[in-house]
Amino acid sequence: MRIEMRRIRWLLPLLAAAVALALASCAKKPRMAEGRLDTPQHHTLRGYDAIDAGNWEAAGREFDLAINLGKDYGPAYGGKAVVVAHKADDHTMPEAERLRVLAQAEALLDKANSNAKNDDEKRAYHVAAIRVYRLAKPPSYVSQAESHYEDAVDLDRRGTDPQPYFYMARVYRDAFRLNDAQNLYTKVLGMNSPMTGKADQELSVVQKVIRAEPGTPYGKTVAFDSSVSRADLAALFVEELRLDRLYQRGAQGQVDTGFKPPAGQQQFQAERTVKAPDATDISDHPLRADIEEVLKLKVSGLQPDPAHQFHPNATVLRGEFAMMVEDILVKVTGEQGLKTKFIGQPSPFRDVRNDVPWFNAIETVTSRSLMEPKDKVNGIFKPDDPITGADALLVIRLLKDELRSYLRS
């Protein structure tokens, strides 16, 4: 299958230079093998193992070792293309730079295709192309990946290779075509291959996101992130949960028992002082508006520190998130006793002592089925693990449903 190339006149010299650079890097004088395992096949296998481990630098070295043996082993070029495309998996990269990286990866894919000597190597080329387009994400990346997926499946005459289905499932997941992703992950599970465990984990996340039904662009952006930041949560609470509206509705049903001074004293004003900003480290943050809204609402756990630092990029842990959710429950329902309800009781979790600050909150959210322990059988909650995007969205969905039910009563 011929790879599509953009025909943008002003970019042609830039793309041509990138292609030349990619080909030149693979045209070095062949080196001599230094042992029985110093083969293109072995280094390619090790390269993909390094990718799976997230070690992209080591992966690049392994594919280079395979290519520099001069055997023109197609799958090694495909693996190198995936490594190069990974550079474009940076959302801040300028479009011209992204196109340069994509052109370099496509040049390597051409080498993988032209050097494929049998159906297995041709299928490896198509799978590498699926991965390249998912990472680089040109405008038509889904349709380009689909074309390679169909070719890869056609070449799998025994129907035993899970890779086309698995990597295409990731493409659909990224494009938020979640039902399509779910179907392909399920196919992988039916093959009983070494990829079964990974497919099962990713399918579980997809199913959580389907249940959560994120309704905002930002919710979809963080859905498959392995962790979320304090700024991310501020945005999710404001945009997905509509926390300001929930607080207003909750306040309408609560009796005001606060002290009010006599009318004559209400006119008194102390000498005014200049108040420092609630947070001094968010002025240039893209989610500043959401953070400022959360600061007004005073969500416990999302407050600035004594130095007026919000730390917007700090990762939120599961124990911290439980405390935030508990605070929202208390403020909307008015049930102040929730914050001390479980104090003094034995902990049901082996990794959560009953004297730590988040113990009561964890008990509150798990007893209401808003959060789940990481390991129910062994009683493990993992309070120090990051809260994932999928888990945060699902908890917000469940919390929204519970609070709406409460406010209707």
Is the residue at 165 inside a domain? no
At residue 3, the pLDDT reads: 43
Is the residue at 175 inside a domain? no
Residues 150 and 226 in one domain: no
Residues 232 and 376 in one domain: yes
Residues 284 and 137 in one domain: no
Residues 226 and 106 in one domain: no
Domain count, the chain: 2
Residue 157 burial by CB count (10 A; 0-12/13-18/19+): exposed, middle or buried?
exposed
Residues 232 and 127 in one domain: no
Q: Are 97 and 81 in contact (CB under 8 A)?
A: no
Helix (H, G, I), strand (E, B) or coil at 338: helix
CA dihedral 5→55→170→73, nearest 10 degrees, is 50
Q: How far apart are CA 372 and CA 395, in angstroms?
A: 9
Residues 236 and 145 in one domain: no
At residue 91, the pLDDT reads: 74
Q: Encoding tokens for residue 107?
A: 């040049």
- Domain limit, last residue, from 134, 157, 180: 157
At residue 29, the pLDDT reads: 78
At residue 392, the pLDDT reads: 97
Residues 238 and 350 in one domain: yes
The reported pTM is 0.82
Is the residue at 374 inside a domain? yes
Is the residue at 270 inside a domain? no
Residues 238 and 113 in one domain: no
Q: Are 322 and 362 in contact (CB under 8 A)?
A: yes
At residue 278, the pLDDT reads: 80
At residue 263, the pLDDT reads: 53
Domain that holds residue 47: 9-157
- Domain limit, last residue, from 125, 157, 189: 157
Where residue 85 sits, what CATH number does that domain have?
Answer: 1.25.40
- Domain limit, last residue, from 157, 184, 208: 157
Residues 248 and 344 in one domain: yes
Is the residue at 290 inside a domain? yes
Residues 239 and 384 in one domain: yes
Is the residue at 193 inside a domain? no
Q: Encoding tokens for residue 352?
A: 């959560």
pLDDT tens series, the chain, 409 aa: 444 443 443 344 445 455 555 555 545 678 888 888 999 999 999 999 999 999 999 999 999 999 999 889 999 999 999 999 999 987 778 888 989 999 999 999 999 999 999 999 999 999 999 999 999 999 999 999 999 999 999 999 888 999 999 999 999 999 999 999 999 999 999 998 999 999 999 999 999 999 999 999 999 999 999 999 999 999 999 999 999 888 886 555 454 444 455 555 445 454 454 455 689 999 999 999 999 999 999 999 999 999 999 999 999 999 999 999 999 999 999 999 999 999 999 999 999 999 999 999 999 999 999 999 999 999 999 999 999 999 999 999 999 998 887 655 4
At residue 19, the pLDDT reads: 52
- Cβ-proximal residues to 352 (8 Å cutoff; 6+ apart), any chain: 319, 358, 359, 362, 381, 383
Residues 65 and 143 in one domain: yes
Residues 28 and 105 in one domain: yes
Is the residue at 361 inside a domain? yes
* Chain CA centroid to CA 92, Å: 16
Is the residue at 395 inside a domain? yes
At residue 90, the pLDDT reads: 75
Q: Are 235 and 293 in contact (CB under 8 A)?
A: no
